[in-house]
Structure 1
Amino acid sequence: MNSAPPPPRRRGSLLERAVERYGFQPGVGLRPVGQATAGPPVPDPVPAPARAPEPIDRERLAERGMLVPNGPVSALAEEFRLVKRQLLTAAREGEARPRSVLVCSAQPNEGKTFCAVNLALSLAAERDLEVLLVDADFAKPDVPDTLGLPTGPGLLDALADPTVDVESCVIPTDVPHLSVLPAGTRSDNDTELLASDRARALLDRLEQANPRRLMVFDSAPVLAASTAAALAEHVGQVLMVVRADRTSESDLREAVGLLDGCDTIQLLLNAVSLQPRGRRFGSYYEAEEEA
């Protein structure tokens, strides 16, 4: 990893502050990944009938301090608007798997599921995207619970059984442009399933099913489980969540080193304590309403 200090940049977004704090230059310095050999074709299972959209629990999101679909503009909403703009720019410029983002952290309890769900909700507001939020934290799959959705068959079931149609596991929601793919039934060979040629073919199938689909993976912490490193080989970019009051530089550097299967890694600084220096994101809209 090239850890040379980045050139001076405009301060503002959490991505930029994370880069400045830890001395990483996003998207630079990881070794190229060789071309994977094509695996056996994935069988064509019988497609399942379309499912009715499941309602998102908006009250639960509000109680947890998360973005609420169609809610008022807030500082959090504006921060994730900036984050997604940088990710979408990188996606347009990427050459390999540009429509897939892995969200992870070095250690547990650093806010990666919080950031993955908020990012997916923010991306779903885009007019030209269909967002698929994939719960890939197989040991602690929290995405359905966070959104108030039912659990059921998911990614691991489709990887383990060729007769399972992965699209039948996708849960449409009542938030326009947002669907969720649960983790599925946990097995003892999660990492091996993700590292297989079948996984690459299945993820290709998910991406090709809808040319407007962008996939956001919420993975296990990098230093707590090996699945994140395996997933990194299948995505176009990684968003590493860095908790300002917890993540050590040594943990961050070790985690980034394990994600060398992806060439583009960006950092998102979470749980920042900001000094009051006047109004921040969101207050502009409030002032307009008060006028």
Structure 2
Amino acid sequence: MNMQPKRPSLLERAAQIYDFNAALKARPAPAAADDLPPPSPAGFAAPAPAERHHARPGRTGTIDREELREAGYILPDAPVSALAEEFRIVKRQLLLAAMDGADPRSRRILVASAMPDEGKTFCAVNLALSMANERDIEVLLVDADVAKPSILSTLGLEAGPGIMDAVEDAAIDPESCVIRTDLANLSVLPAGRPSNEATELIAADRTRVVIEALGRVPNRITIFDSPPVLAASPASVLALHVGQTMMVVRADRTSEADLKDALRLLEGCDDIRLLLNAASAGLGRRRFGTYYGYGA
């Protein structure tokens, strides 16, 4: 029988294209997505609705689904598409690490890129939307790109206080800045007040206190949309507070030299995975979506 070889995942394809291992400390290779079993719900008891939204301070907001759909983002209630299936594979690896890790930082994921315009925020939002479709977790998407925040405008949410306000003022409860969206499992923490001392504020111990406080919510996965690593220094500081980093590399733009430099600056995080963005169809033969009756 003519057996087709297993096609690599987007994570593996990125590692193959960007051969950076010789310049970095050895890191465990990511498991093939197709080999991963579904995550066990052990340790993730589904929180009651009141606990998830109404028992904590904060405000509410409605996501502009139509704008997201027109911009090419995925939505939990949309038909299955190629993009939605790719992010299902990506999130499964991240969730497995989050559930299996004894370190609470494993439930904190930094989404980064070497330079601007490589698709970092697009991937962070899609990852959050995909994870929000899980039944036993809550997702908190943090706009940590404080110099050029874009999460609120992307989701159609109103501006308000955010992570920088909570870091700068110890009297502010970080949860009071969180926006509970009308997607039941998705909350958003804005960037908040801009500051010329963002790196120094993020490097202060108060940031650790804020991030740990946000992590006390049961079953919460926190995703940080980071500034570009080589364009803004806060990314390397944020890497110290997370257990996983998803590094977005754009197939037609990210250079190997830039990627190596960025990964060196993120060495505060021990688990870094590459996500290949804007890959041409020739790199793989997946046709996700067509199996379910939808054109991909």
Distance change >3 Å, CA 225–CA 165, structure 1 → 2: same
1:29 to 6, 23, 26: 26
Query: Counterpart of 1:149 in 2: which secondary structure?
Result: coil
Equivalent residue number for residue 261 of structure 1: 268
Equivalent residue number for residue 204 of structure 2: 196
Equivalent residue number for residue 144 of structure 1: 152
The Cα shift of 1:273 comes to: 0.8
Task: In structure 1, give the amino acid aligned to 2:175.
Answer: E
Q: 1 CA distance for matches of 2:140 and 2:286?
A: 34
Does structure 1 conserve the Cα–Cα contact (< 8 Å) formed by 2:58 and 2:175?
no
Equivalent residue number for residue 90 of structure 1: 97
- Runs (5+) with no aligned partner, structure 2: 28-54
The Cα shift of 1:50 comes to: 4.2
Equivalent residue number for residue 71 of structure 1: 78
CA RMSD in angstroms, aligned pairs only: 2.2
Q: Does 1:230 align with 2:237?
A: yes
Equivalent residue number for residue 44 of structure 1: none
Q: Does 1:108 align with 2:116?
A: yes
1:158 to 149, 161, 166: 166
The Cα shift of 1:277 comes to: 7.8
- Runs (5+) with no aligned partner, structure 1: 1-8, 31-47
Distance change >3 Å, CA 277–CA 151, structure 1 → 2: closer
**Of 160-169 and 109-118, the range deviating more from structure 2:** 160-169
Distance change >3 Å, CA 285–CA 203, structure 1 → 2: same
Task: In structure 2, give the amino acid aligned to 1:193.
Answer: L
Q: 1 CA distance for matches of 2:99 and 2:70?
A: 35
Equivalent residue number for residue 10 of structure 2: 14
Does structure 2 conserve the Cα–Cα contact (< 8 Å) formed by 1:110 and 1:241?
yes
Q: 2 CA distance for matches of 1:16 and 1:256?
A: 16
Distance change >3 Å, CA 186–CA 52, structure 1 → 2: closer
Does structure 1 conserve the Cα–Cα contact (< 8 Å) formed by 2:58 and 2:177?
no
Query: Counterpart of 1:262 in 2: which secondary structure?
Result: coil
Does structure 2 conserve the Cα–Cα contact (< 8 Å) formed by 1:58 and 1:69?
no
Aligned residue-pair number: 261
Does structure 2 conserve the Cα–Cα contact (< 8 Å) formed by 1:61 and 1:67?
yes
Q: Does 1:249 align with 2:256?
A: yes
TM-score, normalised on structure 1? 0.85
Does structure 2 conserve the Cα–Cα contact (< 8 Å) formed by 1:110 and 1:246?
yes
Q: Does 1:286 align with 2:283?
A: no
Moved beyond 6 Å, runs of 4+:
276-279
TM-score, normalised on structure 2? 0.83
The Cα shift of 1:53 comes to: 3.1
Distance change >3 Å, CA 107–CA 58, structure 1 → 2: same
Percent sequence identity over aligned pairs: 59
Query: Counterpart of 2:281 in 1: which secondary structure?
Result: coil
The Cα shift of 1:201 comes to: 1.4
Q: 2 CA distance for matches of 1:172 and 1:193?
A: 25
Query: Counterpart of 1:266 in 2: which secondary structure?
Result: strand
Q: How do 1:205-216 residues align onto structure 2 when only pairs under 5 Å count?
A: 205-208=213-216, 210-216=217-223
Query: Counterpart of 2:60 in 1: which secondary structure?
Result: coil
1:135 to 114, 118, 143: 143
